[in-house]
Structure 1
Amino acid sequence: MNERLRSVGAALVPPLVAVVAALAATSLVIVVSGGSAVDFLRALVSMPSERALLTIVNQASMLTIAGLAAAIGFRMGLFNIGVEGQYIVGSCAGAFFAGSGLVAGPLNILATLVVAALAGALYASVAGVLKVFRGVSEVISAIMLNYIAFTMAGYLVTTYGEKRGLTYATAPLPLDSQPLGFAIFPGVDADVWALATLAAILGVGYWFLLAKTRFGFDLRATGASPSAARASGVDVEKMTLVTMALSGGVAGLVWMPAYFGSVHAFGVPEYFQAGLGFLGLAVALLGRNQAVGVVFAALLFAFMSGQSNALQRADVSKDVIDITQGAIVLAVVVAYEVVGRRRARAEAERVSRALEREEVAA
């Protein structure tokens, strides 16, 4: 029982300490710049309106998917910083397909999800192939691919999309492929997006894959020690390729809740929310690459973003949210490193005492 409590404490204390440290650091920045830390904290923890709560839930669904995409790579020991580019490619491909009307009705939703996931997987595979066959770091190649994705999507939309005012976008999603959302608050003309449930489905699938399948075991073993995994018969190169493709496939679905929920077209930047891929990396780090942790981290980041209006009413710049989010990521990395070192030291001392007892008994 004590061991379980220590394990739970080791999992919960670092993110809590990181959040508190980040808020303290942000408050200090505000005070130094001549603002009021009290107003900042009061606005941040104030109760959002019903419409803001809906926005937070919808935003959290996309951040959860982005966090799961990044977490798949992290568990393998891969830093898939290309989640941003992969979800741009998946969104662009999915929107072009859905707007074409090749498939009618609800089947169009399912087919679009498949197209978006495949596009993201194929794009992520470029970094995987370069790493396995040419030894190129996935960090370097994925960063370059992010810029290529953004530029390529803009070119495709401008060339093959429709002009809307001063910008371009894909053909609108047909009405028979627009799923109804979930009304939570009566009298509020906004709903939780129907495909917000996709985040829950992917979260359960992520947990099952890692905890209940041989592939998940091989993935975790390779992430812990590639040399040991190779010695036990795991094809590390194949695992790298498959994991990058799987991470990219999930990344390709990041924007689908918003696309089917309210936007119904793709176009950069007016019809698209950039930055979710980079936030997904932070969500995965804060959530410790665990399905439940990723969900709570996504809700926290979505809540902070949703409080930007409250901050502006308190004469606090909404850019402070970016500072707080960055500070949380930095603090949680440091906190987990400290906890990991303390745990390793405690384990070494426990083993040492056990050996001493055996020597005395002998």
Structure 2
Amino acid sequence: MNRLKNSPLALTVLAAVLALVFAVAVTAVVLSASGFDPLSTFQAMLDFGTKPDSVANTLNRASTYYLAAIAVAIGFRMNLFNIGVDGQYRLAAMLAAAAGGAIALPPVLHQAMIIIVAMLVGGLWAGIAGVLKVTRGVSEVISTIMLNFIATGVIAVLLQKGRLGHQVAGSDNIGTKTIAPSGRVAGIPYPGANLQVFGLIFLAVAVGVVFHVVVNRTRFGFDLRATGLSATAASAGGVNARRMVVTAMLLSGAAAGLIGMPQLLGASYTYGLDFPTGLGFTGIGIALLGRNHPVGIAFAALLWSFLDQSSQILQFNDIPKEIVAITQAAVLLSVVVVYEIVRRLGLRWQQQTVAAELAERGPAGTKEVAA
């Protein structure tokens, strides 16, 4: 118990486990009330979710979820709520796909060019919200929501025949020109699976490492966190708070631009009407669940991806797959409550520890602390 009290990491893990247990319990109650057997349902999901093809799909989904959550977490660490991640990543993926399909380069350069274009587009689109906030005081929540709608309109206009849109061979889909093999990233075979894991899963890992190092181990990261806690205090300490706001939005948007890259360069090779949407909003929930920490976000992305993948077996058992949405919602709701409870318990334990130490020292120790 003492080891648990003195370990913030242990408290965080305990909170996550309790939240998951609560979510499973809520799901079980809903299943029972709907006339389904919770144990057999969970067993079916577990069996299907651990098959090789399902594991490969889970890892692929998790890589995009992870990038989405990191993009959101960058803003959160600055106390900025970047709701526009979804629009930023879709616009970035579309323009990067168009650029990749229009230009032929040697393999490494071609892939790098597509990724850089995506980061630039995502960063610049998010930067608009940052500039509006520091120059006109417009809330980034409002501006990024509006920019999502504008991005959707821009994509709809550009993704037409005669502009950037082309007829995708073998389907009725409209998409950008197909990226040549030199711009694609080979997948990683998974034992026993017919699918391959996205090669850019390593990009997601690298982004997580860079995020942790920059935010927690550099002067820039300190300034970023300090500005998020108090812009006035940060300015008094010599930090240009206005510049930090814009910089944080640029970085968040650049990370958002990477969300579509695993799918674009590893599977679809074109941006079409069927390209995944809504990943930015999913990233918000995963960032909250992972407490804006790259390791926590990784576990949250894997959990979210596993639930999405395993839910596909439910419809074959005549069980609504929307049951999983209840589980995910319960996880988010419970994690907020449980983390707050654990935080208060941690503060209480710290106070008890300090009081015990003062009692052991006696009056002299009390005077030293007071001095």
The two structures have a TM-score, normalised by structure 2, of 0.90
- CA drift at 1:35: 2.7
Whole-angstrom CA distance in 2 between matches of 1:136 and 1:348:
41
Q: 1:20 matched to which residue of 2?
A: 21
User: What is aligned with 1:129?
Assistant: 131
Is 1:180 aligned to 2:182, yes or no?
no
**Which structure 2 residues correspond to residues 244-263 of structure 1 after superposition, within 5 A?**
244-263=249-268
Residues in 2 aligned to 1:108 and 1:73: alpha-carbon distance in whole angstroms? 30
Q: Which residue of 2 aligns with 1:314?
A: 317
Aligned residue among 55, 58, 72 for 2:57: 55
Counterpart-to-counterpart distance in 2, 1:219 and 1:359? 42
Match of 1:78 in 2: 80
Show the counterpart of 2:339.
336
| Structural RMSD (CA) | 2.1
Structure 1 residue 22 displacement after superposition: 1.3
Q: What corresponds to 1:39 in structure 2? A: 40
Gaps of 5+ in 1: none
Equivalent residue number for residue 172 of structure 2: 166
Deviates more, 1:306-315 or 1:72-81: 306-315
Deviations, residues 141-164 of structure 1 (Å, cap 9, x unaligned): 111211221222122112421023
The one-letter amino acid of 1:301's match is W
* Residue 278 of structure 2 corresponds to residue 275 of structure 1: yes
Hey, what's the Cα distance between the residues in 2 that align with 1:349 and 1:221? 29
Aligned length: 359
Q: Which amino acid aligns with 2:278?
A: G
Q: Is the radius of gyration larger for structure 1 or structure 2? A: 2
Q: Is the 8 A contact 2:104 2:180 kept in 1?
A: no
The answer to whether the 8 A contact 1:157-1:169 is kept is: yes
Which amino acid letter does the alignment assign opposite residue 67 of structure 1? A
| Matched AA of 1:7 | P
Instruction: Check conservation: 2:78, 2:224, Cα contact below 8 A.
Output: yes
Q: What are the within-5 Å matches in structure 2 for residues 115-264 of structure 1?
A: 115-158=117-160, 159-164=163-168, 165-186=171-192, 188-264=193-269
Contact 2:185–2:266 (8 Å) recurs in 1: yes
Q: Which moved more, 1:27-36 or 1:321-330?
A: 27-36
Q: Secondary structure of the equivalent of 2:110?
A: helix
The residue correspondences of 1:65-104 to structure 2 (distance < 5 A) are 65-104=67-106
Q: Which moved more, 1:235-244 or 1:321-330?
A: 321-330
- Any unmatched runs of 5+ in structure 2? none
If the length of structure 1 is used for normalisation, what is the TM-score?
0.92
Q: 1:210·1:217 contact (CA, 8 Å) conserved in 2?
A: yes
- Once the two structures are TM-superposed, the CA of residue 313 in structure 1 deviates from its matched residue by 2.9
- The SS at the match of 1:194 is coil
User: In percent, how many aligned pairs have the same letter?
Assistant: 38
Provide the rounded CA distance (Å) in 2 between the counterparts of 1:227 and 1:336.
28
Assess if the C-alpha contact under 8 Å between 1:85 and 1:146 holds in 2.
yes
Judge conservation of contact 1:27–1:40 (CA < 8 Å) in 2: no
Code of the residue aligned with 1:172 in structure 2: it is T
Query: In structure 1, what residue type is equivalent to 2:264?
Result: Y
